[in-house]
Each structure stands twice: as structure tokens, then as C-alpha cells.
Amino acid sequence: MKDRLQKALYALDDMERAERTGSPLHDIDPRAKLVVTTVFLITMLSVPLHRFSELLLYFAFPLAGSAMGAMRYGQLFRRSLVVLPFVALIGLFNVFYERTPVFRIGTVSITEGWIGFASILLRGLLSVQALLLLIRSTGYYRLCRSMQRMGMPSLFAAQLLFVFRYLRVLVEEALRMKQARDARGYGRSSYPLPMWGTFVGQLMIRTFDRAELVYRAMLARGFTGRIPDCTFREQPHWQWRDSAFVALWCSAFVFIRLYGPAETLARTLGGHPLIP
């Protein structure tokens, strides 16, 4: 448990450090990246389940984005795998309810259910990769502040920021309690089930107390419920590269969604576009 908590802290620290990396993607205005990611999610998630080949084209965005952001796509892909068990549980029902054969590979018949199952897996991976790319290249604080500048109510923007900030508080308190328990455990590697109930209860109490202290410190520093705006020197200005970034990617996403170039190309070459 201690190792997992430390890994969680390392992951949060790594996310904070990633936003300070210098790259072309980091220099793009956060509002532009937010608009592009939103259009990407809307167009990608609206693709019909049976258009599997069309979904594959959307991998161009995380691949190109990771290259622009000086990130390794392999690391981005591995972190997105955490969503697979959840989306697989949802998509598994398609296999049982949609049994219409689509094509055959040798003696194996591929049904609509399996294509829908694979499409749901791809949707989950692409969604998580796009969000990771946005957060790691922007930073959670800048992202919430940009959403506030774009018209999101300050209450919602502040709540999103607090969820991320208090996640670290929760992990730190759990790590302190685990260290204290190990110091009094006389070398025990496991503990009875009733102890875990006490542990969770004490963790919630300690977390609420810590949150109250943090909130009082924020009020003492003039917090009014709104994320403070950055200074004029730090204020991002919309530039031509931001407009080009939005226009290029949004046009590509809409084109893929409306015209289905992968399906058209497959039909032109005489192959099967992986749709009924």
C-alpha cells in the first residue's frame, strides 16, 4: 500500500512538472487546446460503432500531439490503459446481443458485436489519451483558469481545481497514517479487516480537518471563490499559431466525421471498410 501511495504522489508531481516542459504544444494557448480537445471528443464519440476504420484515423491527434509536446506516445498509451477494464465491461454486452456476421477471417466469423466491442475500446483509449495530452501540456491550474475565462461559472472551475488539489492532500494523509501504522505494527505486513475500517474513518476525519485548515489559509489570502487571474506578464495572448492550430485540427476532425475517408478509400481499393 505504501508503494502505491508513493507512486500516486510521483504521478501527481510528474503531471505538475510536465506542464513546465518547453515545446510547441505547451506554447499553444490553453483555450485553443481546450477547443480542439472538445471538438475531438464530440466528433470521435459521435462516430457510429460499426465504423471501426473511421475511428482509427483519430489516433493521428494523440500521436501528433505527443510529438508536438515532446512526450513519448508509449507512456501516454500505457497510462490510458487504466480505462480498459471499465469500457470492456460496457462493450462486452455488444458481443452477446449483436450476432449479425459482417465478414470472415478464415473460418472465424466476425460479427457486429465484436466490431462494436473494439470500437468502444478505441473510444475509451482515445478519450483518455486526449485528456492526458491536454492536462500534461497545459497544467490543471491553467486549464481550470482558461475554462473560467471562457465563461464557465467560477464555482464549477474552482471545484474542479479543488478536486485535483485535495487529491494530493488525501494521498499525503494516507501515507502519513500508513507510516505511523507500520511504526507501531512491529513488522506486521497485514492487518485485520476491522483495522481497515478504522483506518478509512480516521483518514476521512484527518482529511476534513486538513481541508478546513487549507480553506482558512485561502480566506486569509483573499480568496473570494474565483480562481485568481494571472498577471499581465503571464496573461496568454491569442496568436496566429493558436488560430491555425484550432482551424487545422477542427477541420480535420469534422472532415473525418462527415465524409469517412477511410471507408471511401477502402471501397475504392476494393477492400472491406470494416462496416456492415
Q: Which residues pair with 105 in a beta bridge?
A: 108
pLDDT at position 231, please?
47
Q: Once rounded to an integer, what is the mean pLDDT over residues 137-150?
A: 84
Task: Give which of 233, 18, 13, 33 is closest to 146, Cα–Cα.
Answer: 33
Element (H, E) at 223: none
Contact indicator for 134, 33 with CB cutoff of 8 Å: yes
The pLDDT tens digits of the residues spanning 165-205 come to 777 777 877 888 777 777 776 666 666 777 777 777 888 88
* pLDDT score, position 39: 95
**Percent of the chain whose predicted confidence (pLDDT) is above 70:** 78
What's the CA gap between 273 and 51, in Å, rounded?
8
C-alpha cell at 63: 500521436
Do the bridges between strand 108-111 and strand 101-105 make them parallel or antiparallel, or are there none, so unpaired?
antiparallel
List CB contacts of 157: < 8 A, sequence separation 6 or more: 144, 145, 147, 148, 227
Continuous H helices in 98-192? 112-138, 140-149, 154-183
Q: Would you kindly state where each structural domain of the chain is located, as residue ranges?
A: 1-19+153-231, 20-138+237-276
The Cα-based distances of 4 to 7, 159, 218 in angstroms read 5, 26, 30
- The tens digit of pLDDT for each residue in 42-101 reads 999 998 877 778 888 899 999 999 998 888 888 889 888 888 888 888 888 777 777 777
Beta-bridge mates of residue 85 = none
Q: Which residues pair with 173 in a beta bridge?
A: none
What are the beta bridge partners of residue 101? Answer: 111
Res 276: pLDDT: 46
pLDDT, position 62: 93
CA end-to-end distance (rounded Å), the chain:
48
Residue 252 pLDDT greater than 50, yes or no: yes
* Partners of 5 in beta bridges: none
